[in-house]
Amino acid sequence: MILQGVEWKVRKGEHWVILGANGSGKSTLLNVFNAFIAPTEGRLFAFGREYGEDDWNEVKEGIGYVGSEVNRMIEPGESGLDVVVSGARAMINFWGETNPKEQRAARSILRRLGCLALEKRYWRQASQGERQKLLFGRALMAKPKVLFLDEPCAGLDPVARSSYLEFMESNASRPRSPSLVLVTHHVEEITPSFTHALLLSEGRVVASGIKDEVLTSKNLSIAFGSRIRLRRRAHSYGVTVLE
Amino acid sequence: MILQGVEWKVRKGEHWVILGANGSGKSTLLNVFNAFIAPTEGRLFAFGREYGEDDWNEVKEGIGYVGSEVNRMIEPGESGLDVVVSGARAMINFWGETNPKEQRAARSILRRLGCLALEKRYWRQASQGERQKLLFGRALMAKPKVLFLDEPCAGLDPVARSSYLEFMESNASRPRSPSLVLVTHHVEEITPSFTHALLLSEGRVVASGIKDEVLTSKNLSIAFGSRIRLRRRAHSYGVTVLE
């Protein structure tokens, strides 16, 4: 998938959702920001620094990422606290000397996230919903300015999903939260604190900007190449595919 | 996860949905039927034959399976036809001599599924929704009597999901369709042809039987350990998590 003419800016205090069909370029966009793949054309900036010009490893420290790849790499015997601590140095699994300062920071994150009960639980004992929360906490350890959440509710049962969405919303609404960027297939997962939306189709931007201006039946129908009706309830969205 | 006292029978002409929280035993049940794991207690029958007494490899031929494990094992350069043909002998990827009879059978399945356009397309070129349909076709090659579908819509965008659900429904409503057993987290995916439902919680049966008797707000609340309201529309379901 090649991204073409994608102009996208995330400003402080904004929370974005990225929507698009399978193969629209969502994953490519995430991979570019995580520097898993390098842009061959175009320019990529983060926090005023440019990819190729600056040390992107330093820039990357401002960008957190929660995705299923990380999930699969955690050892079953790591405790919840270990998982969070390991995020301090962008390492997976924590084998080094325990650092009391990092442990305190991790515990404070667990407390803030309402996940202190997971501190001593082994990764293998944690439910899928609990794991997603731990990975969120792990990403916070590096104090990111932007936190990408790649389909965090995939595979969660309805109750675990509902609990995760509440968790995400309460984090997004904190004044000092990093900007969240939620990549999802489900408009039902766009909680009220999300301010902006980016709609991709075949590597191009269909619409980008304020959530309520971007999320319309017309734009979604263009993005997904099929007639879609977007329903708005009080604070949430739903879609119906019409053809 | 240990299954305890699970009594479950699928009869000819029935289509089942299996619902349950993460960790409720759904995957264990699938794995037992596919003989990926052996039951340590209790008795397992299929088509009048008993596990441990009969050659389960023969019995297994009657049981088709579509899951993400298979998806990951297909080589990117296999054509749609190859993928389907490979199902004839429960092999993954087709390297042997091409057998014209099996090729004809595979083409006829593709036609019946409305997927003839995928015949020559490479696996790597197929969208996620198209892949799910090919895996369904692949499973049909072995003429199963029961076909397990393990979260077939996971990761599909709304339009691909809607297309897959129509595809599944049109197959389920064919008179000579194998019994479908759909494992899912989403009641929205239960199409009208499904006749029965099995609700699991912590390895035990919460309810089992005729769909409309099993799928109630009360049973779902017990199964998921949280207050859930089930909504019924004309031919479909939705849930709201209340607490």
ipTM: 0.78
Provide the b/e sequence for A84-117 (b: ≥16 CB within 10 Å).
Answer: bbbbbeeebebeeeeeeebbebbeebbeebebee
Which residues from A are below 8 Å from B225, CB to CB?
Answer: 159
Q: Where do we find the tokens 């042997």?
A: B96
CB B219 within 8 A of CB B199: yes
Nearest CA to CA, how far is A201 from chain B (Å)?
12
Give the best-scoring range by mean pLDDT among A67-81, A86-100, A193-207, B82-96.
A193-207
The length of chain B is 243
pLDDT of res. A198: 94
Across the range B217-241, mean pLDDT stands at 91
Determine the distance in angstroms separating the CA of B237 from the nearest CA of chain A, rounded to an integer: 13
* B230 CB within 8 Å of a chain A CB: no
What one-character DSSP code corresponds to residue B177? P
| In chain A, % of residues over pLDDT 70 | 94
Q: Does residue B51 have a pLDDT over 70?
A: yes
Pick among A26, A159, A228 to test the B interface (most B CBs inside 10 A): A159
- Give B226→chain A minimum CA distance, Å: 7
Let me know: does B207 contact B197? Beta carbons within 8 Å.
yes
Testing the interface with A: which of B185, B220, B237 to mutate, by most A Cβ within 10 A?
B185
Strands (E), B47-178: 49-50, 63-66, 146-150
Do B224 and A159 make contact, defined as CB atoms within 8 angstroms? yes
Of B85, B23, B36, B159, the C-alpha closest to A131 is B23
Q: Given the DSSP bridges, would you call strands A179-183 and A237-241 parallel, antiparallel or unpaired?
A: unpaired
Q: pLDDT for A210-228, tens place per residue? A: 999 999 999 999 999 999 9
- Band (B22; pLDDT cuts 50, 70, 90): confident
The pLDDT value recorded for residue B188 is: 92
User: To the nearest whole number, what is the mean pLDDT of chain B?
Assistant: 87
Closest approach of chain B CAs to the CA of A168, in angstroms?
A: 16
Q: Which amino acid makes up residue B172?
A: A
Whether residue A148 is predicted with pLDDT greater than 70 in this model: the reply is yes
| B22, B154, B160 member nearest A157 (Cβ) | B22
Give the separation between CA B72 and CA B93, rounded to whole angstroms: 11
Which pLDDT score, from 0 to 100, does residue B35 have? 66
Strand partners, B27: none
Q: How confident is the model at residue B32 (pLDDT cuts 50, 70, 90)?
A: confident
Q: Is A211 on the interface with B (CB under 8 A)?
A: no
Contact A178, A144 (CB under 8 A): yes
Q: What is the mean pLDDT of residues A96-102?
A: 77
What is the model's pLDDT at position A95? 58
Q: Looking at CA atoms only, how far is residue B58 from chain A in angstroms? A: 32
Q: Is pLDDT above 90 for B93?
A: no
Task: Confirm if A29 and A202 have CB atoms less than 8 A apart.
Answer: no
Instruction: Give the pLDDT band (50/70/90) at residue B36.
Output: low
Q: Where in chain B is the domain with CATH 3.40.50.300?
A: 1-62+147-243
The predicted model gives B42-48 an average pLDDT of 76
Minimal CA separation from A243 to chain B, in Å = 9
- A156 in contact with B, Cβ within 8 Å: yes
Q: Which amino acid is it at B211?
A: K
Among candidates B157, B185, B239 on the partner chain, residue whose Cβ is nearest the Cβ of A22:
B157
Cβ–Cβ < 8 Å for B199, B220: yes
Q: Where are the alpha helices (DSSP H) in A128-225?
A: 128-140, 158-172, 211-214, 217-224
Instruction: Report the percent of chain B where pLDDT is more than 90.
Output: 56
How large is the average pLDDT for residues A188-196? 95
> Nearest-CA neighbor of B208 among B196, B217, B220, B216?
B196
* Strand arrangement, sheet containing A146-150: A63-66, A146-150, A179-183, A16-20, A196-201, A204-210
Q: Could you count the other beta carbons within 10 Å of the beta carbon of residue B1?
A: 14
Identify the residue among A71, A185, A187, A224 best suited for mutation to test binding to B, counting B beta carbons within 10 A and taking the highest: A185
Q: Which residues pair with B209 in a beta bridge?
A: B197
pLDDT number for residue A91:
54
A128 contacts in chain B (CB < 8 Å) = 22-23
Average pLDDT, chain A: 87
Q: Is B234 on the interface with A (CB under 8 A)?
A: no
pLDDT, tens digit (0-9, with 9 covering 90-100), for B100-114: 889 999 999 999 999
- Amino acid in position A65: Y
The pLDDT of residue A152: 93
pLDDT surpassing 60 at residue A188: yes
Architecture of A1-62+144-243 per CATH? 3-Layer(aba) Sandwich (3.40)
- Report the pLDDT averaged over residues A165-191: 93
Q: Chain B contacts of A189, Cβ < 8 Å?
A: none
pLDDT tens digits, one per residue of B142-189: 899 999 999 999 889 999 999 999 999 999 999 889 999 999 999 999
Handedness of CA B213, B1, B63, B189 (dihedral sign): positive
Are B84 and B103 in contact, with CB atoms under 8 Å apart? no
Q: Does B91 touch chain A (CB under 8 A)?
A: no
pLDDT tens digit string along A28-73? 888 777 766 777 777 777 777 777 777 777 777 888 989 877 777 8
Q: Which residues of A touch B23 (CB under 8 A)?
A: 127-128
Q: What is the CATH number of domain B1-62+147-243?
A: 3.40.50.300
Return the DSSP state at B42.
Answer: S
Going by their DSSP bridges, the two strands B196-201 and A204-210 should be labelled as unpaired
Q: What residues of B are in contact with residue A25 (Cβ under 8 Å)? A: none
